[in-house]
Structure formats: structure tokens, C-alpha cells
């Protein structure tokens, strides 16, 4: 069964760089790969990317604000992201939580706003290094925002904060354990199965072993997704 490979470009790439990325990716992706793939470009090129990305590739926003319109300088609404071609948005990425002070309440509002406008949700959760002993409670608190949400339109990304952009990847058994905690909690609390991606220093050289884990439904990739060669290699992984 195929898995989902998602590129999170963060605050990287302008139009010509995106153009070059897709030109190179085109010749490298195996069109018979069973894996699905998606990209979350910066908001400034969301529209452009949604026009030039391969038809098979979903395009998502990295963030949205939950108000419909108004005096919110610098923010983009769900309607704007949708208008620019996004079919989903990341929500609650640890960089949003830690650098921009986003709370679980904000995350909940964003999920509601996205679902009201028909966009899918990719909810990012994960623990800080010092929270690792308390993993279950930390993840469950972050997942509690899924109460009264259409879980069928949600994917969870488990990204241990200490593994993001650091080159340190969680041990395979720890990835399995965290994914089980997430899946069990969602099933027990909300009665639905949920897909869970792993994120945190995934690159072409370690994606294969991570994607081969049954509990892992895909990967969310930051740094390595900027390179079309690495990203294509991940898409082409047999899992
Ligand atoms: P990384 O980022 O792959 O650069 O660690 C992952 C993410 O933040 O989504």
C-alpha cells in the first residue's frame, strides 16, 4: 500500500526556485510509484505552485488564520488559501507553537475554520526533549483539539520537536510507540482510525526504513524536501 510523502518548504523558495524544483522533479519521479505526495509552499507562491505542480501532487498551506476576514495584518484566511489552490493546511506545527506562541485553542479554531470551508487538516503534534518521559500525556493533550472534528478529513503528523531540523531522528521503536499512542487515543476517544505521518530530520537515506514501519502512513519532510533529488527518491520508495 502506498504512503504519503509531504514536503514542508517552510520559509524557503521564491517562484524561480519552485519552477526549477518542479522541472527537475518531473524527470526523477517514478510515475508508477504507489505513494501519494504533497507540498506546502510559502503563501506567496501557493498560487503559482498549485498551477505548476504535477497534477497528482496535492498543495497545502503551511498555516492559516481562523477569522474569515478583517484587520489581521499579515495573516491569510482559509478562503484565501483555498482560492490560491490549497486543499489542506498544516496546523499547529511546532515552529508555529514555539516561535509564534500558537496555543491549542488557536489550533482548535484553525481546524474548525478549515473544516467549515472544506479544507483538510494536517495536525502536527510532538514533544519537547524534556517532555519525552511524559510522551503520552503531551500527545493526548495536543490531540484533544480533535473533539467534535471530522476525523475523516484529518491527518496527524508526529514530529518530536527535538528531531526537527537537527539531524536527530527518533529511534524506530520510539516512532512506532508514538504512532500507536496517537492512533489508539483517536480511536478510543473519537471512534475513528487516523493516518499518522512521522516528521523530524527525514531524508532520502532514512526515509525507507521509516516508511517501512506499518504504523507509519507517511512522512512530513522539511529540509530534505527542498532538494528535488531527495524528494523524488522518497516518493519512489517502495513501501
Ligand atoms: P525537518 O522538518 O525535516 O527539516 O526536520 C520537518 C518539519 O518541521 O516538518
Contacts (Cβ under 8 Å, ≥6 apart) of 16:
none
Q: Give, using CA atoms, the residue closest to atom 1 of ligand 1.
A: 222
Neighbours of 117 (CB within 10 A): 14
**DSSP conformation class of 45:** G
Domain that holds residue 147: 4-235
**Residues 170 and 200 sit within 8 Å (Cβ to Cβ):** yes
Q: Whose CA is nearest to atom 7 of ligand 1?
A: 222
Residue 200 CA, closest ligand 1 atom number: 5
- The model's pLDDT over 226-236, given as tens digits with 9 standing for 90+, comes to 999 999 999 99
Kindly state the cell numbers that stand for 165: 531540523
Determine the 3-state secondary structure of 3 from DSSP: coil
Residue-level length of the chain: 239
CA angle 35, 222, 199 (to 5 degrees): 65
Tell me whether residue 47 is one of the annotated catalytic residues: no
How many distinct structural domains can be found in the chain?
1
Q: How far is the CA of 165 from the centre of ligand 1 (A)?
A: 5
For residue 111, the domain's CATH number is 3.20.20.70
**Which of helix, strand or coil describes residue 224?**
helix
The pLDDT, as a whole number, for residue 181 is 98
Q: Which three cell numbers stand for residue 28?
A: 526523477
pLDDT at 239: 81
Is 159 a residue of the active site? Answer: yes
- Tens-digit pLDDT string for the chain (239 aa): 799 999 999 999 999 999 999 999 999 999 999 999 999 999 999 999 999 999 999 999 999 999 999 999 999 999 999 999 999 999 999 999 999 999 999 999 999 999 999 999 999 999 999 998 999 999 999 999 999 999 999 999 999 999 999 999 899 999 999 999 999 999 999 999 999 999 999 999 999 999 999 999 999 999 999 999 999 999 999 98
DSSP 137-179: HHHHHHHGGGTTS-GGGEEEEE--GGGTTTSPPPPHHHHHHHH
pLDDT in tens, 184-214: 999 999 999 999 999 999 999 999 999 999 9
222 touches ligand 1 (CB under 6 Å):
yes
pLDDT digits over 68-90, tens only?
Answer: 999 999 999 999 999 999 999 99
- Beta-carbon contacts of 130 under 8 Å, excluding residues fewer than 6 positions away, are none
Ligand 1 mean position, distance from CA 8 (Å): 7
Whole-number average pLDDT of the chain: 97
5 close to ligand 1 (CB < 6 Angstrom): no
Task: Note if the pTM is more than 0.85.
Answer: yes
Amino acid at each position: 500500500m502506498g504512503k504519503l510523502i509531504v514536503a514542508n518548504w517552510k520559509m524557503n523558495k521564491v517562484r524561480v526556485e519552485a519552477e526549477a524544483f518542479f522541472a527537475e522533479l518531473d524527470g526523477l519521479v517514478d510515475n508508477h510509484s504507489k505513494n501519494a505526495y504533497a507540498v506546502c509552499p510559502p503563501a506567496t507562491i501557493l498560487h503559482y505552485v498549485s498551477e505548476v505542480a504535477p497534477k497528482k501532487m496535492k498543495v497545502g498551506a503551511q498555516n492559516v488564520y481562523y477569522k474569515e476576514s478583517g484587520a489581521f495584518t499579515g495573516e491569510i484566511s482559509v478562503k484565501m488559501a483555498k482560492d490560491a489552490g490549497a486543499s489542506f493546511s498544516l496546523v499547529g506545527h511546532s515552529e508555529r507553537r514555539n516561535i509564534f506562541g500558537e496555543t491549542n485553542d488557536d489550533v482548535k479554531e484553525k481546524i474548525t475554520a478549515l473544516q467549515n470551508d472544506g479544507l483538510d487538516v494536517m495536525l502536527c503534534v510532538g514533544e519537547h526533549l524534556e517532555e519525552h518521559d511524559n510522551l503520552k500525556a503531551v500527545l493526548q493533550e495536543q490531540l484533544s483539539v480533535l473533539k467534535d472534528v471530522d476525523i475523516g478529513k484529518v491527518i496527524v503528523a508526529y514530529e518530536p520537536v527535538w528531531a526537527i531540523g537537527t539531524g536527530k531522528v527518533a529511534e524506530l521503536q520510539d516512532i512506532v510507540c508514538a504512532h500507536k499512542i496517537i492512533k489508539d487515543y483517536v480511536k478510543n476517544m473519537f471512534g475513528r482510525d487516523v493516518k499518522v505521518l512521522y516528521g523530524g530530520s527525514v531524508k532520502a537515506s532514512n526515509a525507507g526504513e521509516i516508511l517501512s514501519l506499518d504504523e507509519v502512513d507517511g512522512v512530513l519532510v522539511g529540509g530534505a524536501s527542498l532538494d528535488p533529488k531527495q524528494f523524488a527518491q522518497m516518493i519512489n520508495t517502495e513501501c
